[in-house]
Amino acid sequence: MALTPDDVGRIAQLARLELANDERAAMLTQLNGFFSIVEQMSAVDTSGVEPLYTPLSAVQEVHLRLRDDAVSETGEPALRALNQRSAPVVEDGLYLVPKVIAG
Amino acid sequence: MKALHEMGVAELGRALDAKEVSSVEAVQHQLERLAAHAELNTVLGLDPQALEHAAAADARRAGGERSALLGVPIAHKDIFVTRDTPTTAGSKMLAGYRSPFDATVVARLAHAGTVTLAKLNCDEFAMGSGNENSAYGPTRNPWDPSRVPGGSSGGSAAAVAARLLPAATGTDTGGSIRQPASFAGITGIKPTYGVCSRYGMIAFASSLDQAGPLARSAEDCALLLGAMSGFDERDSTSAQRAPQDFHAQMLTPRDGASAAQPLLGLRIGLPKEFFPKALANDVDRAVRAALAELEKLGATLVDVSLPRTELSIPVYYIIAPAEASSNLSRFDGVRYGHRAAAHGDLEDMYKKSRSEGFGAEVKRRIMIGTYVLSHGYYDAYYLQAQKLRRMIADDFQACFSQCDVIAGPVAPTVAWKIGAKSDDPVANYLADIFTLPASLAGLPGMSLPAGFGEGSMPVGLQLIGNYFDEGRLLHAAHAFQRATDWHERKPAGY
């Protein structure tokens, strides 16, 4: 089942990407080219097979480690300044974005 | 004494120990070579403190400290964040980005005394097989500048091959250390998933990404991997195990082996799917000659099968983009990265910033990943791929009941011409066929120079081990390199 131009528009919206018209046409061709090599996957019977989300679980039990929910980085506000030095727009330690709430 | 750039990591370490050379001299020399060979486009940024760090290493050595890596110049793939120099991931999205911290791999190598000279070119967010997807222009292969050096760690591979550096770091998600090592005629190892911390490695596909070294020999790789690896509480998937001395493991003789037959008793599995009819003759010839050499060293060749080798391509190119689409959602033009100059509301700002900041291949993978994770398609694509991934991992375990390591080509051909595949993403994906299976299973794999093919371009031999079997891989590779000199060949003019 090939993707349509509408599908490409819908996926781009989900991905928060804006594609120019020529980009959109090329994307449609390339995605359909890609999904033609994916078809062979669906022919394989995988019933009863557990998905392998993380590779080491193929041979051992993998437990997700969680750290304590506590501040681990100290050194505010110097660290905050370091963290924000690559932010496009900051003011008083806050990240600025376009106005979201009308008023 | 030979020229400084002719020395690999171990050799330079010995010269530094013997006080035949200082770190400052070695660093100065390599900085001059990096500057003199800008035509390869390997460098995205220099570390302005390199000479200071070299002087500090010399002082540590004068103070009695001895370490194989103390004072050795290296450089990092620009996917590892560094606090004191910009990190771009080869993307316009991160032009000028300054991390607040060093990646664990960067910090550990610095702790071991290596001196960072530069950040190296790579495919954008490590997505590519030819280094042609860098926003900062393609890196060229020193063996033939009209060809790609492989990718995505292409800058690392080209710089090491051209003797601009003794070694460099790389990352491998689907072959991004092994394939450029093969294309550039050097040695590289991707360890078992979890051996090197991913903390500070800009995430592409988190269940696949692994760091590793690219260098001129297995011995140099062993030294670097020892310093880079180890448990890190900051990476939730870091393997909890004691620090490993890969160099000692590499040197440990096999039981019953002799000097003439160091690999006696080693069973090397050859998956028939790694030698298909479509494999280029020149690659087939070089790999088979290398296998004959391994036999002479005492190894036994065993026929095995990895029946889902071809399926690895769609499985990988579903899973990796799915994870990438999630990982790259953080680039929103708010906390870091590019923000569009002109935009409307918040959502428009996201869209314009992402569309301007990401290149074509990254957008394609985000689109694929978003689609396969979307409602109604998740089971058919993503879940089915993860189930097949389990079957691929199980296939490897079946092989390892018959053999100790697996061998085959790294790539179906030698390095291609720049531009030859740039209009055809699927052609690029298909060329990853022999590196993807081990990536999906999370197994360690390495590439070592095994001869030359079409256009006098290097051919690599791939060795794949079972989980945490890096020592066995390095031992076999080291034995091969003691008996051959492919890894000592270098491109003309360098």
Nearest chain B residue (CA) to A3? B371
CB contact under 8 A, B389 and A98: no
Q: Can you give the pLDDT at residue A103?
A: 62
Mean pLDDT of chain A: 91
- Given a cut of 70, the residues of chain B with pLDDT beneath it are none
Q: B471, B249 in Cβ contact below 8 A? A: yes
Q: What is the pLDDT of residues B344-360, one digit of tens each?
A: 999 999 999 999 999 99
Query: Quick check: is B305 catalytic?
Result: no
Q: Can you tell me the distance from the alpha carbon of B290 to that of B450, in angstroms, rounded to the nearest whole number?
A: 6
From CA B274, how far away is CA B287, in angstroms rounded? Answer: 11
- Nearest chain B CA: its distance from A67 CA (Å): 8
Determine, for residues A40 and B317 on separate chains, whether the beta-carbon distance falls below 8 Å.
no
Residues of chain A with C-beta less than 8 angstroms from the C-beta of B389: 51-52
Distance CA B18, CA B16 (A): 5
Contact A83 B100 (CB under 8 A): yes
Look at residue B313 in the predicted model and tell me its pLDDT. 97
B11 is written with which tokens? 């050799």
Tell me whether residue B490 is one of the annotated catalytic residues. Answer: no
pLDDT class for A73, splitting at 50, 70, 90? confident
Helix (H) or strand (E) holding B218: helix B218-228
How far is it, in rounded angstroms, from Cα B306 to Cα B300?
Answer: 19
* pLDDT tens for each residue of B225-246: 999 999 999 999 999 999 999 9
pLDDT score of B415: 98
Rg (CA), chain A: 23
Residue whose token pair is 């360690």: B444
Indicate which residue of B22, B23, B77, B190 is catalytic.
Answer: B77
Q: Look at residue A102 and tell me whether its pLDDT is greater than 80.
A: no
H or E element that contains B187: strand B187-190
| Chain B residues closer than 8 Å to A70 by CB | none
**Catalytic, out of B23, B152, B197, B422:** B152
Q: Which of A8, A51, A79 sits opposite B383 (nearest CB)?
A: A51
DSSP string, B98-116: --SS--HHHHHHHHTT-EE
- pLDDT given for residue B249 in this prediction: 98
Strand order in the sheet with B458-465: B43-46, B115-120, B73-77, B167-172, B210-215, B187-190, B445-452, B458-465, B405-409, B267-271, B300-304
pTM exceeds 0.90, yes or no: yes
**CA–CA gap between residue B120 and residue B214 (Å, rounded):** 12
Find out whether B82 and B199 touch, Cβ atoms under 8 Å: no
Is the pLDDT assigned to residue A5 strictly greater than 70? yes
Using CA atoms, how far apart are residues B299 and B264, in angstroms rounded to an integer? 5
Q: How far apart, in Å, are the Cα atoms of B293 and each of B253, B298, B299? A: 18, 9, 9
In chain A, which residues have their Cβ closer than 8 Å to the Cβ of B427? none
